[in-house]
Amino acid sequence: MLELTVIGLLTAFFAGIASFLSPCVLPLVPGYLSYIAGDAVQLDASRIEARAARWRALGLSACFVAGFSMVFLVLGASIRRLFLSYRYELNIAADGVIVIAGLMVMGVIRAPLWMQR
């Protein structure tokens, strides 16, 4: 029988893997890696240069996360009140979009502009 802490650690590990592979996170990885790799680091560098390169990569990572977080914070703060004041109307519009998308999937409606490959 596994101990409770081992089960908790395994659950947290697999939840982290699932979170990383989710459609919300995985598309960000190439942009993040290219942002970090934009500052070329040579692998044959001396220890002091390697340490400086690691600190530079850490700084770039912090800037990427801060910038990405700032976008969501600003959008959330500025749009929240607008969405709350028009919640009923937005729900009706979203329902209409879902119905139209369902009819397109069934083939009842053909919208060539939305169905391009």
Calculate the CA dihedral of residues 48, 62, 35, 14 and round it to 10 degrees: 100
pLDDT of residue 38: 66
Angle, in degrees to the nearest 10, between helices 87-106 and 47-85: 100
Distance CA(117)–CA(115), nearest Å, equals 6
pLDDT of residue 94: 92
Structure tokens at 57: 């990569």
pLDDT tens per residue, range 68-114: 888 888 877 778 878 888 889 989 999 999 999 889 888 888 877 76
Of 13-17, 19-23, 33-37, the range with the lowest mean pLDDT is: 33-37
The mean pLDDT value for 48-60 works out to 78
Structure tokens at 112: 């060539």
Closest CA to 35 of 78, 64, 12, 56: 64
Determine the residue type at 84. L
pLDDT of residue 33: 76
Distance CA(62)–CA(64), nearest Å, equals 5
* pTM exceeds cut of 0.85: no
pLDDT of residue 98: 92
Distance CA(39)–CA(25), nearest Å, equals 23
